[in-house]
Every structure is written in C-alpha cells, then in structure tokens.
Amino acid sequence: MTDDNPQRQGNLYKRIDADFKKAVHNTDILSVIASRLIPELKGRDLDFVKRCVSPDGARRLPGLNTEMHNDDDYYVIMDNLFSIIIPGEREIGLMLNIEGQGDPDPGYPILKRGLYYASGIIFNQKGTVFPGTHYENLRKTYSIWFVLQPKSGDENTIVRYPLMKVLGADDARSTNEDANLLEIIIVNLGRADSETVDETMTVFNEIFAAKDRGDVYKKRLADKYKITIDDDTLRSLEDIGMSLGDEIRDYQIRTGYKDGFSKGYDEGFDKGLDEGYNEGLDEGRNEGLKEGRNKGLEEGLKEGHNKGLEEGLKEGRSEIQTSWIENLVKTVLGLMSRLDISLEDAIDLANVPGDFRIQVSEKVREELEG
C-alpha cells in the first residue's frame, strides 16, 4: 500500500537528504564521485584523486560553508561545497558542490536550482578564491545533483549541462577554456540490483541504494571501490538504501497511477468526444428529419390549399362561363324562331359580347343541325 501523506513524504525526504549529506562528506565516497564525474580527474588513480580532494589525508571533509542571500532575507548555507586542487605543471583548482534530492518533483526544475547554486558559488569566489579583478583565476564550478528517487523512466541516467563555447563563434580571444567554467550534472539513481550497462551508475547504485547491511556492506565497499566508512556513515548509507528500497517502488506506483490517469483521461476524452459527436449527429439528423417533415407537411398543406383554391376558382369560373354561354345559345335560338330572323341578327339583338360571338354562333349551328 502506498502512503500519499505529504507530511510523511516531506519528513522522509529530509531524512534521506541529511543521510546523503553525511555520506558525501566521507573523503573516499567524495573521491569516487569526483573520479567518475569530473573530466579533469577521469582516468586518474583513486589514491591520486583522494589527495586532490583531501591533501591532508582527512577521512571526513567539513566542506566550505558558503552563504548565499535569499530574497526572503535569510541566507542559504551550502555546506556540501568542496575545493579540489589538482597538482601538476599547471595547477587546476575546482569547486565541487554535491546535493542529494529526495523529492524528484519539488515544484520547480531541479536544473534551475542547480544553476542558481552554481552561479552563487561562482559569484562568491571574488574575494575568497581571487582578489580584486583577477577573474583569470576564477575556478570551474561543478554542481552535482543526485536524484535519489527519480521519476519513472529517468532511472540510471546521467544528464550533463555544461557551459561551453558555441561552435562557429570563431574568436581567437575567446577559447573554449574561457567559457568552460560551469557544469550542472544530474544523476538519477536506480537500484543496486537494477540492470544497467553504465559502470558509473552501477557504482553509485551500489553505494547509495544497496540493501546490504553492517560488515558485509563495509567490506564490499572497501574491496570493490577502496571506500572506508565509519559506523556513522554506515548508518546513513543503510538508512538511504532501506528508505529508497520501499519508497522507490511506492513512488513508481504513485507516478504510474498519475500517468495512467492522465493518459486514460486524454483517451477517454477523445473517445467521448467522438462518441458524443456521433450521438449528436444521429440525434441532430433525427430531429432534422422530424422537423423537416413537419415543416414540409405544413408548407405542403399551405401550398396545396392555395393551389386547390386557385384551381377551384378557375374551375368555378369555367362552369359559370359554360352555363352563361348555354343560356345565350338558348336566347339566340328563341329570337330566331319567334322573329324569323337570321343568326347574325339574333346575336346582335341578344347583345352577345364580341369575345363569345364565335363560340355562341358555333353552338347555335350545332343545335340547328342536330
């Protein structure tokens, strides 16, 4: 069962961060991290790296307490900042900041927080690392962030964000060395038993996410990586491994649920949209047919009524006209018989309109011949 209590999660992350901080102050662990992630130390013997990290051979390093002013009128204490001096014909000085991040989604991009820290470290070098305007002595700064409980899909990855000269900006006064003075590195842990072809990730997982305990754990670190730890550091590493063991699984379940819900919502929305459209189309078509039928019937009745009225009036007029012509024929025949006059004289005497004279004459002749 997962635990979504925000307060419990917050306390857990604080404990993991505190244990991580205690662990990386161990000179041997810090040296392994530096040898694996800092290019200037790549390929160098681990004992050489340890001398660069701790010239006096101290087993634990206190770190440089660098303060950065915050906009809330208090100072951020960066106690995971270390100075590394690489001896040689040309001595190289580096600033190394290492942070452990328990919450993979704190509400802001971890990269931007890393950039903020690294920028503060660079800013604070004036007056501490170099005096006045001797910016040529500015040291390269590395800010390394171990995400102890990464988001699903990010496990066992290392992402680097270097500041560098852009190819094509061919200016002899600005070499890549001048620009290459800041790099943010984000390390997303996996599990000690997770499968990865990255040797560096295997080392980090075995240090910070191991399930071993006690002397077995101490011996394995000493034999494989030349890491000697005291009991206090051992307890911190054990706590980190134990906490992450269950919490990573729980976190993956929580994020998997959220991702699944989000994808399901999107798919459901699209499907619902399609189904709603089709259902609306069918309903609209049916309502359109019904309304069109009723409207058509109404218009048809109206048009039929008008047409019938028109034809009825026309037919009525035709019947009246026929009856009237028949009466005129009878009148003309009566005048011809009583007065013994011609057809033309009878038509004149009966005042037959000019438009009907031919029609009345034909009807009279038909009667006389019949």
Angle subtended at Cα 6 by Cα 148 and Cα 74, rounded to the nearest 5 degrees:
75
For 23, 53, 182, 207, the CA distances from 221, given in Å and listed in that order, are 13, 19, 31, 7
pTM: 0.62
What pLDDT does 5 receive? 61
Helix H or strand E encompassing 97: strand 92-101
Helix H or strand E encompassing 69: strand 66-69
Is the distance from CB of 121 to CB of 143 less than 8 angstroms?
Answer: yes
What pLDDT does 248 receive? 47
Averaged pLDDT in 10-residue chunks for the chain of 370 residues: 56 78 93 96 94 91 66 62 93 94 88 92 90 92 93 92 75 66 94 75 88 85 92 87 59 55 71 79 83 80 76 72 82 86 85 83 85
What pLDDT does 118 receive? 92
What pLDDT does 52 receive? 95
Compute, in degrees rounded to 10, the torsion defined by CA atoms 269, 273, 275, 280: 150
What pLDDT does 75 receive? 55
- Helix, strand, coil percent values for the chain (each to nearest 5): 60, 15, 30
User: Nearest CA to 190 among 207, 175, 173?
Assistant: 207
Positive or negative torsion for Cα 356, 358, 361, 362: negative
Positive or negative torsion for Cα 148, 150, 154, 158: negative
> What DSSP string runs through 154-210?
-TTEEEEEE--PPTT---TT--HHHH--EEEEEEE---TT---S-HHHHHHHHHHS-
Tell me the two tokens of residue 34. 């530096």
What CA–CA distance (Å, rounded) separates 204 from 336? 138
Tell me the two tokens of residue 240. 């980190």
For 189, 240, 251, 255, 256, the CA distances from 104, given in Å and listed in that order, are 11, 15, 10, 11, 14
Tell me the two tokens of residue 17. 């961060």
**Distance in angstroms between the alpha carbons of the first and the last residue of the chain:** 117
What pLDDT does 111 receive? 94
Is beta strand 92-101 parallel, antiparallel or unpaired with respect to 81-86? antiparallel
Tell me the two tokens of residue 140. 């390269």
What pLDDT does 109 receive? 93
What pLDDT does 347 receive? 84
